[in-house]
Amino acid sequence: MSLDFRTWMKNTQENCEQALSEYIPQCDIVPQQLHEAMRYAALDGGKRVRPLLVFAAGRLFNAPEELLSRAACAVEMIHAYSLVHDDMPCMDDDELRRGKPTVHVKYDEATALLVGDALQAQAFIVLSEGNGDAQMKLSMVRVLAQASGSVGMCGGQAIDLASVGLALSREQLEQMHRLKTGALLRASVLLGAMSGKTLSSSETEALYAYSAAIGLAFQVVDDILDATADSATLGKTAGKDAADNKPTYVSLLGLSASQTLAAQLCNDAHNALLPFGENAQYLHDLADLIVQRQA
Amino acid sequence: MSLDFRTWMKNTQENCEQALSEYIPQCDIVPQQLHEAMRYAALDGGKRVRPLLVFAAGRLFNAPEELLSRAACAVEMIHAYSLVHDDMPCMDDDELRRGKPTVHVKYDEATALLVGDALQAQAFIVLSEGNGDAQMKLSMVRVLAQASGSVGMCGGQAIDLASVGLALSREQLEQMHRLKTGALLRASVLLGAMSGKTLSSSETEALYAYSAAIGLAFQVVDDILDATADSATLGKTAGKDAADNKPTYVSLLGLSASQTLAAQLCNDAHNALLPFGENAQYLHDLADLIVQRQA
């Protein structure tokens, strides 16, 4: 008997918060200020979409809790570090994140740089420690590193930076997002599933299709919210992409077509899950959540 | 029959350069500019001290070439990323590195930030791909991540930043360097040795003692060179630590006592290697090199 989605989600978010708090060194460990700032960056905030994907995908093959918890925290640390660096003055220069001052505002730029660097390392510490089959865990390290690096998230950010002020085609926009946010979302789904068993090629393909659909949906909805919501609801500066003259789905397709696209991608995600039957229920519900979120 | 040290060193440096060039994505792979900048940061420069330590330690237990090459490149990528971030305006604000403009000068700050981030991820990609025993490689990922993170290199940089203008005791200075540069040098030695076999506790202890000695010696000599050499010889701005009012061994102990300390640490390093006999010859010679280097 499964928990209803909202209860499961709340439990998972709480467990993830607690695990993150354990997996990031405590504030009394030297260097104290760095650890305090790492905890400031990673704890107490965020929707934990990536950890939710890890845990939901872990249910496909009955993956062990500890490994899922490590994978979820590792992905979230990569995500958190990318936000810290992304917010720095030389990148997006944002002062507000999840309703709180960004790390370089709360501390300083040098600390923000080191917090990001150390959180990335911490992700690989967490994933390489603990129990579990070594071959499986080494594959997970590889998946996470590839998703984070120059042909994953960092690469997407580089393309994003280079594209400010340019008239991107829809294909170019998609490629950028497939790397910038898509790669880590896909890694989340893969890491969860891989924690349970070695994936067959058809399973991998189905999970790729699901991830591709929710990854794009996530970005389309981000663009819709940036254009329609206010800063207080978002917990970050709204309308910033348009002000920065960054290409978005809304600027490219218009608001209404963007909303239709999001709904269609959600449907694609649901269809990709059909081979997994009932075990995929939470992944199914997460696709809904991603498209229906208000922040 | 072993190669003489200088020939071995030259061969190893060349092999490492070639391996790095293979392990960092080529300039024609998207995003091209990011890959070009990553290559600019990591190729064509440096003494490759860490790769030399990896390969020299690999000879202790006859470790396979491919694994050593991956470990050496992974450590060097971590080192290269740390230099790129360290040189940024919010950190040391250096314009010259290995006689070339630093990455943020040659490109821009945002690119430098991403180059560092992506090189860190690339280190874990390289270490997690390829052949070799999974348990061994997972342990190597763990050693490298721990040495890079908040209780390793990043932690040392945080302490360094916080100590500018403060009167550090010799113990505090040592603790800072043990993390800032020592952790990665120790990881280099461990990774090389671990590539050959699972280490016994007495082997680990001996390698720790060797690493601690060369790690401190490395820093003492760095401080001596910063105080005595010119920028052209160093390939970076000389006298910068003193100008920045950073504590150094020379400011703390004086030049002559610093030189005595370096010689003594070199001797400690040699003694730590005695249990390994002739297989440790290159590690022995590397301790000499670290103390006798002119840049």
**Integer Cα distance of B265 and A33 in angstroms:** 31
Instruction: List chain B residues with CB under 8 Å of A160.
Output: none
- Shortest distance between the Cα of B116 and any Cα of chain A, in A, equals 8
Query: Is A293 a residue whose pLDDT tops 70?
Result: yes
Q: How many of the other CB atoms lie within 10 Å of CB of B158?
A: 28
What is the average per-residue pLDDT within B39-46?
Answer: 92
pLDDT at res. A152 = 98
- Shortest distance between the Cα of B88 and any Cα of chain A, in A, equals 9
pLDDT tens string A80-117: 999 999 999 999 999 999 889 999 999 999 999 999 99
Confidence of residue B3 (pLDDT cuts 50, 70, 90): confident
**Integer Cα distance of B46 and A279 in angstroms:** 52
pLDDT at res. B251 = 87
Query: Is A233 a residue whose pLDDT tops 70?
Result: no
What is the average per-residue pLDDT within A213-231?
Answer: 89
What is the domain count for chain B? Answer: 1
The percent of residues above 90 in pLDDT, for chain B, comes to 82
What is the average per-residue pLDDT within A54-64?
Answer: 97
Structure tokens at A244: 């920065």
| Cβ of residue A30 closer than 8 Å to a chain B Cβ | yes
| Cβ of residue A134 closer than 8 Å to a chain B Cβ | yes
Q: Which of B44-48, B74-78, B234-238 has the highest mean pLDDT?
A: B74-78
What is the average per-residue pLDDT within B81-86?
Answer: 98
What is the average per-residue pLDDT within B75-91?
Answer: 97
| Cβ of residue A163 closer than 8 Å to a chain B Cβ | no
Q: Over chain B, what is the mean pLDDT?
A: 93
pLDDT tens string A2-25: 789 999 999 999 999 999 999 999
Nearest CA in chain A to B163: A31
Cross-chain residue pair A150–B118, CB shorter than 8 Å: yes
Instruction: List chain B residues with CB under 8 Å of A151.
Output: 25, 29-30
Instruction: List chain B residues with CB under 8 Å of A120.
Output: 117, 120-121
| Cβ of residue A232 closer than 8 Å to a chain B Cβ | no
Structure tokens at A164: 């400010």
What is the average per-residue pLDDT within A154-167?
Answer: 89
What is the average per-residue pLDDT within B87-105?
Answer: 94
Instruction: List chain B residues with CB under 8 Å of A107.
Output: none
Structure tokens at A291: 């498209």
| Cβ of residue B109 closer than 8 Å to a chain A Cβ | yes
pLDDT at res. A180 = 94
pLDDT tens string B164-218: 778 888 888 899 999 999 999 999 999 999 999 999 999 999 999 999 999 999 9
pLDDT tens string B109-166: 999 999 999 999 999 999 999 999 999 999 999 999 999 999 999 999 999 999 877 8
Nearest Cα to Cα of residue B71 among B26, B27, B114, B132: B132
The angle at the Cα of B145, spanning B144 to B150, to the nearest 5 degrees, equals 125
Domain of residue A275, CATH code: 1.10.600.10
pLDDT at res. A101 = 96
pLDDT tens string B262-287: 999 999 999 999 999 999 999 999 99
pLDDT at res. A275 = 96
| Cβ of residue B158 closer than 8 Å to a chain A Cβ | yes
Q: Can you spell out the DSSP letters for B5-27?
A: HHHHHHHHHHHHHHHHHHHSPPT
pLDDT at res. B240 = 67
Confidence of residue B42 (pLDDT cuts 50, 70, 90): very high
pLDDT at res. A243 = 64
Query: Is A246 a residue whose pLDDT tops 90?
Result: no
Cross-chain residue pair B142–A135, CB shorter than 8 Å: no
The angle at the Cα of A250, spanning A244 to A255, to the nearest 5 degrees, equals 140
Query: Is the model more confident about B229 or about A143?
Result: A143
pLDDT tens string A42-55: 998 789 999 999 99
Q: How many of the other CB atoms lie within 10 Å of CB of B221?
A: 22
Residue-range definition of the domain harbouring residue A132: 5-292
pLDDT at res. A225 = 92
Q: Are strands A96-97 and B100-101 parallel, antiparallel or unpaired?
A: unpaired
Cross-chain residue pair B34–A154, CB shorter than 8 Å: yes
